[in-house]
Structure 1
Amino acid sequence: MKSMEMYWSIVSHIVNLISLLVEGWMFSYFIKPFLEKTKYAWVTGGMYSIIMVILYFVPVEIAYPRIFVAVIVYVLLCLLDRKNMEQKIVLLIIMYLLQWVAHGIAIIPRNIAFALFVNVPYMMKHTMLQFTNFIWIEAVFVLVKMLLLYLMVVGIHKVYVNKGENVSKKELGLLLSILLTFFTGYFAFTYFPDLYEKDTGQYIWYVHKEYDILKAMYQFISCSALFITILGYEKIKEKQREHTQNLILAEQMENMKHYISEVEKLYSDIRALKHDMGNHITVLENLFLEDEKEETEKYFSKLKGKWGESVTAIKTGNPVTDVIVMQKQKEMEEKGIQFICTFSYPQETKLEAFDLGIILNNALTNAIEAAEGCKEPYVSLSSYRKKNAYLIEIKNCAKKKVICNQKTGLPETTKQDKDNHGFGLVTIRKMAQKYYGDIAIEQGENCFELSVMLMVE
């Protein structure tokens, strides 16, 4: 009899240990998309399992060991990845709740199976069969619990789309006010059975069979509310992004107006120069006849300078894109970046110079930022046209590959203020889609290439 009790105890320990190890793996899988490096997820998941196993074997009096472990894991996460610490608090609470929900729902079929195949008079007389049933019931329980946890984690990954975005302190307060409501129920359902056992000496679920069902219903509702909360949060963030993007687009339109005014000034200077050309020729002719070589050279040099100021070195086929490319070229010269340009504006198309200007301005700004700091910085701008398809290619050197968003396919900004940066490529794609096109990104070793396809007829 004692040997059978020992076997039951061994199986219980094995099942619990497997459960803790799988929970650690599941925790790593859950937080992996939110961290900069995958290894950070595996380190924290491994640490979670190790601490839980230690607490399982070492008799330490801790009221809520999982909360204790969550605090340790949070500190470790912050040491490994110091970005977006507010988000890490939310993630740990979500994972904690998901584990509780998965356990609470999976325990119901387990208890039913125990009542049917273990705790019955027939099985009491056939201990080996009872023990066998105990083993497969515990195995199925762990599988069901982990399957539920996995499905909920996958669901969170799907609804929590913009994983790289910062969670502000105000947003953290809003999310915590909702998540802590679920925690209140958790503590109530955890504390009440302990209190009942102390008062009556019996487990509440043995006396009141409906307790587990009531708890599972609360857990299911809490889980559903959790998903709705994240969806609502994503909707709010989406509106914030749209608002910020519209503000940035409005600012870029103002910049385009500035470029257009520069073009108007350029043409005004050229017209004035042409208007005065007759006078200039007369002055030069008189100086030449009077054999004033030195004065002639000075006057000619001055006239040549004025002409140089009025004529752009870049000839793209459109004055607006001329000015944009020319200004970006000057910026690159100042920063020591080599610029190769074979870009030309497509003629006789429905393409508006205003829209193409926004594309070029954003693309070249991003390329310059990426090229800065490279050993041999360069930016290349080219264009091709075949029938109604018009392709713009911007290539630049880059110190390292960028991480792309799983949903949009666009690179995620590496700047701290993510809420107000990273909209350049979004704007370019928006402009491309206006002309039934899109963008494509290719990354090589120390190289970044952006292709913009437009249908121009």
Structure 2
Amino acid sequence: MNWKSLFEINIYHGYIFQILLAEILFTFKLKRRSHFWIRAIVGCVVYCFLSIIIPNFIARYTSGLFSMIIFLLSVGLCEACFNSGFRNIIFCCVGAQLTQNLSYNIENLIYLPFAEKISYWGWFLISVVTTFIVYIVCYFLFARRLNSEQPAGERGVGVYLFSLTTALFAYLMQYLMQLYKIDVIWVTRPPLILCCIFGLCVQFEWFALENRRAENIFLERMLEKEKRQYEITKTSMDLINMKAHDLKHQITRIRSMKNAQDDELDKIENVIDQYEMSSMTGNRTLDVILAEKTMLCRKHNIQMTIMADGKALEFMSTADIAALFGNALDNAIECEYTIEDKEKRCITLDIHKKGNMLIIRLENYCQNELKADTNFPETSKKDKYNHGFGLKSIHYIAEKYDGVVKIGVKNNIFILSILFQVQ
């Protein structure tokens, strides 16, 4: 056995760096393990070493497994460097493998028809340019859509099984082409190019669909939790109003006594009025939510103005009203906490019908610019996955009733508008 042949490097070993570069694009957002750079440097050295020896050794006995072996070694490298779960790593690596395969087949589609006229360095230039263009396009279309903060368990198993099936199919086709010696024929490349594009599109669209499904399940759980919280709040507010009503009767009785001190009684009565539900919008659920948030605003010196036709909300369920206005007002109140100048702390809620349109408009003072897109501004909290669902919940509820949500900032006023078409 010639041991030196195990260390021989040929043009096909370029796959080592091509798949590694593609995997960097797709794993860039994954959660890294401790001592990541040490793991990455040592791992890359070991990976390159094994990717030369093992494929060369196996190639003595069978062909067609060269790329698959290198790919499996690269998956091991990613597993050693990232702590995002094996399923997430496989998903990213398959996306990288399809990207590399797409680049390789486009390169050969350009090169093979003119192989006799193109020099070695011409082929190398075609390879570099094709790889650069395809990788950049695939990054912007697919790789950057990945989100490291969403747990892998939230996604369905189907999307991962599809990823594995796609990878195995690509390598099977490559093995058969080499076995029957047809990989040098350029007409075999267009079907493989289409398969790679189809695989990437289905993989990531399925991924997006699974994400949306998981998000909707999470939102439904949140709505159910908020419904229970509303029931607790309603009971508490009813009790507060009942006690406040009884106390006002007691104050009236005390006033009738000769020794009553009117100034002290007035102060007590003013305090009671602050806790007594004052919003009478025509919708009991909205009244409860507004009473709770009004008390919170008073506590934090936030001026709250309400002009609401609660009867116009009759088409919505109790849980949805509680969640919609609870989330919207909580977001506004949280924003006002950050305003140092208490004179500027203000919230305005306007609910009215205009023709067959119901218009909900919530405004609050805001000193920051919107982050991300105007549909889902980025949450200011560190945990991006478990927070930022307030606005998503609002969008979700609006969509249930064919509503439209618009968000914007004008002259330091954050404006949330929701439009519904009603009878």
Local SS of the residue matching 1:343: strand
Map of 2:207 onto structure 1: 233
Q: 1:61 to 1:402 in 2, by over 3 A?
A: farther
Match of 2:348 among 370, 379, 383: 383
Q: Is the 8 A contact 1:110 1:138 kept in 2?
A: no
Q: Please give the alpha-carbon distance, in whole angstroms, between the structure 2 residues aligned to 1:328 and 1:83.
A: 40
Q: Which moved more, 1:21-30 or 1:134-143?
A: 21-30
Q: CA deviation at 1:426?
A: 1.6
User: Counterparts in 2 of 1:122-133, with a 5 A limit?
Assistant: 131=119
Q: CA deviation at 1:112?
A: 1.9
Q: 1:391 to 1:239 in 2, by over 3 A?
A: same
Map of 2:163 onto structure 1: 179
Map of 2:306 onto structure 1: 344
Q: Write out per-residue CA displacement over residues 198-224 of structure 1, whole angstroms, 9 at most, x where no aligned residue.
A: xxxxxx63xx46777557635643542
Match of 2:147 among 154, 159, 163: 163
Unaligned runs of 5+ in 2: 1-9, 56-68, 282-286
TM-score, normalising length: structure 2: 0.63
2:392 is the counterpart of 1:393 = no
Q: Please give the alpha-carbon distance, in whole angstroms, between the structure 2 residues aligned to 1:84 and 1:274.
A: 61
Q: Please give the alpha-carbon distance, in whole angstroms, between the structure 2 residues aligned to 1:60 and 1:391.
A: 64
Map of 2:327 onto structure 1: 362
Local SS of the residue matching 2:417: strand
Q: CA deviation at 1:114?
A: 0.9
Paired letter, 1:166: Q
User: Counterparts in 2 of 1:301-316, with a 5 A limit?
Assistant: 305=268, 308-309=271-272, 311-312=274-275
Q: Write out per-residue CA displacement over residues 206-261 of structure 1, whole angstroms, 9 at most, x where no aligned residue.
A: xx467775576356435424432332333233223223323322443444455455
Identity %: 11
Match of 2:293 among 307, 312, 325: 325
Q: Please give the alpha-carbon distance, in whole angstroms, between the structure 2 residues aligned to 1:367 and 1:275.
A: 36
Please tell me the root mean square deviation across aligned C-alpha atoms, in Å: 5.5
Q: Please give the alpha-carbon distance, in whole angstroms, between the structure 2 residues aligned to 1:212 and 1:363.
A: 59
Map of 2:389 onto structure 1: 423
Local SS of the residue matching 1:344: strand
Q: Please give the alpha-carbon distance, in whole angstroms, between the structure 2 residues aligned to 1:268 and 1:386.
A: 28
Q: CA deviation at 1:425?
A: 0.9
Local SS of the residue matching 1:71: helix
Q: Is the 8 A contact 1:87 1:166 kept in 2?
A: no
Q: CA deviation at 1:103?
A: 0.8
User: Counterparts in 2 of 1:294-305, with a 5 A limit?
Assistant: 296=260, 305=268
How many residue pairs match? The answer is 378
Q: Is the 8 A contact 1:70 1:92 kept in 2?
A: yes
Map of 2:80 onto structure 1: 75
Q: Is the 8 A contact 1:312 1:326 kept in 2?
A: no
Unaligned runs of 5+ in 1: 1-11, 119-130, 197-203
Q: Please give the alpha-carbon distance, in whole angstroms, between the structure 1 residues aligned to 2:406 and 2:208.
A: 25
Q: 1:368 to 1:62 in 2, by over 3 A?
A: farther
Local SS of the residue matching 2:307: coil
Q: Write out per-residue CA displacement over residues 278-318 of structure 1, whole angstroms, 9 at most, x where no aligned residue.
A: 6x15xx54x52xxxx5xx56x99789757744643896675
Which is higher, the Rg of structure 1 or of structure 2?
Answer: 1
Map of 1:248 onto structure 2: 222
Q: Is the 8 A contact 1:101 1:223 kept in 2?
A: yes
Q: Is the 8 A contact 1:314 1:326 kept in 2?
A: no
